[in-house]
Structure formats: structure tokens, C-alpha cells
């Protein structure tokens, strides 16, 4: 059975459903207790548990309870890490298979994680993007010239970090006469309390709040660049042809990202598949490069395509690996 709490893990695990492998709805308060999971695993007659790697406090507790139950019952556990750095190995609990985002992350986990001797690590957690792999038109990436004066900001739950980053970016967007589509994260409580009002005041001519728009409409907005701390939705945009950039100031997004993952910046940035702005003094220069330098944009998308292996569907190999665990191979 598939068990993931946060939206990222749930989307990733939903891409792996096959046969009778239910994705468990985690709304029951008893799901914090391993006894609940022992009974549910027995009721489902599960031969294995495929576990997500949530980061919310509630999600971590629920998934850990399920992991304890599976270990107590001595059934295999497969961990699927939707965001590199989310997987936190526990030397006392066993996972037979760990599925991560890319080959670069495979090497990192093998070198850094305290793995059990029989744990194996494979690439394939980007299976959640398989539907987008089917939509990719490579020719679109060869004609990467940007004629758009529109950017997207994809927020995350941490209101203060978002405000710090936006305060550093917005003046440059105004001077460059660029429009920003702002999309708040669904768990950004500060947004619902109106904490962005003062920052946006007087900038209504170049900021459009699209937080309540549906995704289909949002993805059709055709921006020239997507900015975020590390939202996975930026990856969706890049698959559809729009370069992305991680804004990782040490005072805001960078701090949150390192605290959450233990990494300084995403592996995608290291591979050149996403822009990276980490110095407030370089915002204007980096925006101009990422928006208007055709060679930079073309090279970035080529690195993105290579990192995510956009021509190869991930689902078949991941399911094959899971079936191998079930068969005791």
C-alpha cells in the first residue's frame, strides 16, 4: 500500500498506483499510532509499504508510525523521496529500496546516508512528471527566445521568508517593467491573514495575485521565467518550456531549504537545470541573464532535460524495482 501525507509525496505516490495498491487517505487521528498501521496493513493484506517523505510535522509523525509498524510486521518498506534531502534514514529502521529524484541524488544518498547493508537506491522519484514527459516538445526548447514581460512567483508556506525574498526582487521588476504573477502556497497562513498587503501596496500595476486560479489556467499564462524558493510546481513549468530559478537568499529561502534538507541548494541547480539567485546584490544581473540571454536559457533547458531524463518514462522501471522487492529479489 502507498502512504504519503504532504501533497508532494501524495502526487508522487499516486503516479505509482498499480494493481491493488491503494493510496491511503491519512485523515484518521489514530494514524499517529503504530497500532493503527499494524491493523490497517493486516486488513489490506499488504505485502509491502511504499512510503513518502513528508516534511510537515504531522506528515513526518504519520509516516514514521507506518514505518515502525511495517518493520514490526517484517514486511518490506520502499521509500520514495519526492524532494532531495527529505529522506532521513534511521539506523534502527529498515528500508529495502529508496527511490530518489536523479542519478546525482542516488550517488549522494549512497555516500551520505547511513543505509542498511541490504538497502538499494535507484533514480525514479520524478515519476510524478511522467505525464509531462509525454507533452515535451524538444523543438520548443531550441527556440527559447523570451518575448514575455511576465514572471511567476511560486510561494511556499513560510510567510516571512517569502516577504524577504519578494522585497528584494520587486523593485527590480518595477524598474524593468516586468509583470509578476504571484501565487501563494495553500499552507501560507500569512497570505490568508493579509500580510502581503503592505508589500504589494502601490505595486498593483505590475503584480497580479493568481493564488486562487486553477492550475490549468495558471499553466497557460506563458511567463518568461518562474521564480521560487523550491516549489515543485516550478519543475512543472520547466517541463512545459519555461526556465525556472531558485531564489535562495541566506536570510530567507536558502535558510529554509538548508534547514529542511541539509543541502545548500537543489541538485537541479548544481546540474545547471535551474537558475540560482542567492545574493541580493546580484538580483538584477541574474534576472537579465535568465530572462534575455538566449544562450543561457537554451543551456539551462538542455541541462534540465538531461537531469530529469525527459525522454524516458520513469514509472516502468520503478514499478519493476518494487515488484522485485515483493518477489524477494
Q: What is the CATH number of the domain that holds 231?
A: 3.40.50.2000
Q: Could you tell me if 274 and 268 are in contact, meaning their C-beta atoms sit under 8 angstroms apart?
A: yes
User: Is residue 30 very low, low, confident or very high in pLDDT (cuts 50, 70, 90)?
Assistant: confident
Is the backbone of residue 177 left (phi > 0), alpha (psi -120 to 50) or beta? left
Q: Tell me the CATH number at 128.
A: 3.40.50
Q: Report pLDDT for 201.
A: 83
User: What residues contact 246, with CB distance under 8 A and at least 6 apart?
Assistant: 228, 229, 230, 234, 253, 257, 265, 266, 268, 269, 274, 275, 276, 277
Residues 126 and 162 in one domain: no
pLDDT tens digits for 278-311? 999 999 999 999 999 999 999 999 999 999 999 8
Q: Are 191 and 218 in contact (CB under 8 A)?
A: no
- Please, which pLDDT band fits residue 193 given cuts at 50, 70 and 90? very high
pLDDT of 138 > 60? The answer is no
Q: How much is the mean pLDDT over the chain?
A: 88
Residues 116 and 168 placed together within one structural domain of the fold: no
Q: Which domain holds residue 31?
A: 2-132+313-326
Rounded to 5°, angle at Cα 236 from 186 and 295: 130
Of 153 and 115, the one with more pLDDT: 153
Across the range 243-257, mean pLDDT stands at 97
For the chain, the distance separating the N- and C-terminal CA atoms, rounded to the nearest angstrom, is: 19
Q: What is the pLDDT of residue 144?
A: 56
171 and 66: one domain?
no
Those residues with Cβ within 8 angstroms of residue 93's Cβ, 6 or more apart along the chain or in another chain: 67, 68, 71, 77
**What's the whole-model pTM score?**
0.89
**What is the pLDDT, as a whole number, of residue 317?**
94
> Is residue 47 domain-shared with residue 159, that is, in the same domain?
no
How many Cα atoms occupy the beta-carbon half-sphere of 44 within 13 Å?
Answer: 21
- Verify that 320 and 238 share a domain, yes or no: no
Residue 239 CB contacts under 8 Å (≥ 6 apart), including other chains? 129, 132, 133, 135, 136, 308, 310
Higher pLDDT, 94 or 122: 122
pLDDT in tens, 139-149: 455 455 666 78
28, 160: one domain: no
Average pLDDT over residues 216-235: 91
Angle of helix 57-73 relative to helix 34-44, nearest 10 degrees? 60
Q: Are residues 100 and 189 in the same domain?
A: no
Tell me the longest C-alpha to C-alpha distance in the chain.
63
Question: Does 111 share its domain with 166?
Answer: no
Q: How far is residue 213's CA from residue 263's CA, in Å, rounded to a whole number?
A: 32
Non-local CB neighbours of 45 within 8 Å, separated by 6+ positions: none
Domains in the chain, number: 2
Which one has a higher pLDDT value, 313 or 147? 313
Task: Specify whether 269 is located in the same domain as 175.
Answer: yes
Same domain, 193 and 284: yes
Task: Assign 209 a pLDDT band (cuts: 50, 70, 90).
Answer: very high
Same domain assignment for residues 181 and 303: yes
Question: What was the pLDDT predicted at 119?
Answer: 77
Examine the domain organization and report whether 91 and 153 are in the same domain. Answer: no
Amino acid at each position: 500500500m502507498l502512504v504519503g501525507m504532504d501533497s508532494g509525496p501524495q502526487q508522487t505516490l499516486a503516479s505509482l498506483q498499480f494493481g491493488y495498491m491503494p493510496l491511503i487517505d491519512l485523515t484518521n487521528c489514530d494514524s499517529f499510532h503504530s497500532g493503527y498501521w499494524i491493523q490497517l496493513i493486516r486488513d489490506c493484506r499488504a505485502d509491502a509499504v511504499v512510503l513518502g517523505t513528508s516534511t510537515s510535522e504531522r506528515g513526518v509523525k504519520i509516516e514514521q508510525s507506518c514505518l515502525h509498524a511495517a518493520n514490526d510486521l517484517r514486511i518490506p518498506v520502499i521509500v520514495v523521496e519526492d524532494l532531495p534531502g527529505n529522506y532521513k534514514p534511521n539506523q534502527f529502521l529498515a528500508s529495502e529500496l529508496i527511490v530518489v529524484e536523479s542519478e546525482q541524488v542516488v550517488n549522494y544518498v549512497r555516500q551520505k546516508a547511513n543505509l542498511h547493508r541490504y538497502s538499494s537506491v535507484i533514480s525514479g522519484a520524478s515519476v510524478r512528471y511522467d505525464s509531462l514527459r509525454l507533452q515535451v516538445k524538444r523543438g520548443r526548447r531550441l527556440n527559447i527566445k523570451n518575448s514575455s514581460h511576465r514572471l511567476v512567483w511560486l510561494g511556499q508556506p513560510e510567510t516571512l521568508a517569502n516577504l524577504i525574498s519578494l522585497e528584494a526582487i520587486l523593485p527590480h521588476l518595477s524598474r524593468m517593467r516586468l509583470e509578476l504573477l504571484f501565487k501563494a502556497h495553500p499552507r501560507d497562513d500569512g497570505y490568508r491573514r493579509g500580510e502581503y498587503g503592505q508589500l504589494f501596496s502601490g505595486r498593483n500595476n505590475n503584480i497580479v495575485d493568481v493564488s486562487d486560479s486553477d492550475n490549468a489556467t495558471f499553466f497557460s499564462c506563458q511567463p518568461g521565467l518562474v521564480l521560487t524558493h523550491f516549489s515543485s510546481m516550478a519543475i512543472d513549468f520547466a517541463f512545459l518550456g519555461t526556465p525556472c530559478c531558485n531564489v535562495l537568499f541566506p536570510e530567507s529561502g536558502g535558510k529554509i531549504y538548508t534547514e529542511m534538507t541539509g543541502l545548500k541548494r537543489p541538485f537541479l541547480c548544481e546540474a545547471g537545470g535551474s537558475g540560482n539567485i542567492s545574493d541580493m546584490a546580484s538580483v538584477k544581473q541574474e534576472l537579465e541573464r535568465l530572462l534575455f540571454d538566449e544562450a543561457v536559457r537554451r543551456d539551462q533547458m538542455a541541462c534540465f532535460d538531461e537531469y530529469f531524463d525527459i525522454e524516458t518514462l520513469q514509472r516502468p522501471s520503478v514499478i519493476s524495482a518494487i515488484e522485485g522487492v515483493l518477489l524477494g529479489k
